[in-house]
Amino acid sequence: MDTLPASSSKSGSDPIQIQSSKEYETIEYIRNNSDSDRILEDLQSQRINEVLCDIRLETNDGAIVVGHKNVLMAASPYFREIFTNSDERNKGVVKISEFNSAVLRLLVDYIYSGQIIITKENVKLLLQAANILQIDFLNGACAEFLKKELDVSNCIRMKAFAHSHNCPILLSSYEAYIKKHYLDVAKGEDFLSLSFEDVVKIISSDDIAVPFEEKVFESIIKWIKHDLEQRKDFLPDLMEHIRLPLLASMPDILNNIVEEPLLKNSPKCNNYIIEALHFNPDESVEHFTMPQKIRCKSRLFGASQKVILIFSRSKKLPRCYMDWYDPVTKVQEDAPAINDCLLLPGFGVIRDKYVYLVGSMDIMSSSSVSMLDVSSRSPSWVPTVNMLCMRSGFRVGVLDNCIYAVGGENGTKNLNSVEVFDVSIQKWRMVSSMSTPRRDMGIGVLNNCLYAAGGINSELLNSVECYDPTLDTWTTVSKMLVRRANFGVGVLDNVIYAIGGYNESGFLRSAEKYRPSDGVWSTIAKMHVRRDGPGVVALNGLLYVFGGDINRSNVDTIEIYNPNTNTWSIQPLPKSRDSKIFCAVAVDRPPHFITN
């Protein structure tokens, strides 16, 4: 039993006694929104009936809106500054000149009620007013409303509006829209009204969505000719951002550009043309020299403009298939085919556009390597340097622009050896071997390390080891929960996922994940379908799982995993082939695929 000090007790009475118990130690936090709403409703009623109102706001059109200073100050820094200003503090009437009485009434009603009706007619005025009053929630609501109204015909005018009213979220959204729809925007009249600075800002971007660079050239010539006398001197500065060297492999198109009369009288423009005529894209690819000048650099078509390249092998014929797949539009198209039909190949992707296909014709032949530049106007597979060792059942990973071929078998034994292909010098070399021979394992790359998981040696494995290229060493890490081989691996948001495959119990629907910072594997939701050897791609915050041949029946569906909800959805592939999908990778959208 605890007591308060004597000085705390009433005169002539015993000290107050407080019993210590769990009942008194319990603290409960409550929040009563209904009372808050009731108070606001009451204040609104008082304002309407002008009860205790101590401020009258007068607009330029002579209208008066009444209110309570403390309520308006609490809602808006704009009013707080006015009512704390020494000149305005004791005034009963304050002039508001920034907007009209209709908008002011809507805003004051919103402050008291938290409700407002946004329409096409008032949204711009409300956004401007919310920006002045610094009411962030209303500002954001107006911005979201305007985003929904965005289209090719108004995006340039809306961008100017967002800039003039200091709305960075809206401005960023409009700029992204203009880049994504550049070809259509450039056809409109509003494009011709852009300032030189605005045109430069757009065409200098890596991520404007244009299938071919001559379309950008055509748009700036059109812009200059719209006001030739005032704009012709801007041409050299604009041509600096046109990537003419990308057209070097298309002499007919480049020659048409050279014949443009506006270019002939400009020494600076002539230098850009000479640069393009002497640019050798094949030599750049062969030596993997990345362009130093922006004019030689391919545009990216935007971070979200990725497609998936799928490799599959016919079950009946010695034939392989390549397909592009757009996960947004669900369009599937034929990709450049490879002449040799490879057995159990692997994909490696460098800088999202150079795809290396590593594989062999059979388990007794040396593994060959071919490269595809997806940014090329006419992409095709180009043979490169064969691997050092004969191996099948190996897996591929990419680290620091180098391609690693890990494990596998050579026809007589399982391998723990690892070799790496440095694309910059076009040579293979051996690196440290794994501690355990493995074939049909999973390979994931995370935090600049290579993870080799599961697979088969003399038995099915669930062990995992990690390769650090800076130390050239392999280190054992936590085991998977399930032994599995021939499974798919995806890496998303610093997590490695092991998906499907098979073990002693048969083909698997199960999947698990590993976060290196936690150091443990944990299960995730099961797929809808059992999948053996699926291709897995991480893209736009999701995992896409393709194929996975089971009992010789084709799995022509895609399963999509959302890590935020731990759920799988399933959908059919647009094209159904009698083939087994071995691998899939995300790459930059090929030029011809941009309009799909």
pLDDT value, residue 542: 94
pLDDT in tens, 15-70: 434 444 445 456 776 666 676 778 878 888 888 888 888 888 888 888 898 999 88
The three-class DSSP label of residue 306 is strand
pLDDT in tens, 252-283: 777 788 888 888 888 888 888 888 777 765 45
pLDDT value, residue 163: 86
pLDDT value, residue 275: 81
Digit-by-digit pLDDT tens for the chain (596 residues) are 444 334 333 444 444 344 444 454 567 766 666 767 788 788 888 888 888 888 888 888 888 989 998 899 988 998 888 888 766 667 788 888 888 889 999 999 999 888 899 999 999 999 989 988 989 899 889 988 988 888 899 999 999 988 888 788 788 888 888 988 888 899 999 999 999 999 999 998 887 877 778 889 999 999 999 999 999 999 999 998 988 887 766 677 777 888 888 888 888 888 888 887 777 654 544 444 444 566 666 675 543 468 999 988 777 777 788 899 988 778 888 899 887 777 667 889 998 889 999 887 666 556 788 999 988 877 889 999 999 988 888 999 999 889 999 999 988 899 999 999 999 899 999 999 999 999 999 999 999 999 999 999 999 999 999 999 999 999 999 999 999 999 999 999 999 999 999 999 999 999 999 999 899 999 999 999 999 999 999 998 899 999 887 765 557 789 999 999 999 999 988 877 767 777 899 998 887 665 44
Q: Tokens at residue 131, please?
A: 């920006």
308: number of Cβ within 10 Å: 20
Please state whether beta strands 502-503 and 495-499 pair in parallel, antiparallel, or not at all (unpaired).
Answer: unpaired
Q: What is the CA radius of gyration of the chain?
A: 33
What is the torsional sign of CA 387, 391, 392, 394? negative
The angle subtended at Cα 462 by Cα 458 and Cα 465, nearest 5°, is 100
pLDDT value, residue 246: 73
Residue 466 pairs in a beta bridge with: 451, 475
Closest C-alpha to 188, from 159, 157, 211: 157
Q: Are 333 and 309 in contact (CB under 8 A)?
A: no
DSSP state, residue 64:
E
State the Cα torsion 580-585-588-591 to the nearest 10°. -10
pLDDT value, residue 554: 56
CB half-sphere exposure, 197, CA atoms < 13 A: 1
pLDDT value, residue 593: 66
d(CA 499, CA 490) in angstroms, rounded, equals: 8
d(CA 155, CA 161) in angstroms, rounded, equals: 10
Residue 586 pairs in a beta bridge with: 308
Instruction: Tell me the DSSP string of 504-540.
Output: TTEE---EEEEETTTTEEEE-PPPSS--SS-EEEEET
Question: Token pair 């706001």 is at which residue?
Answer: 57
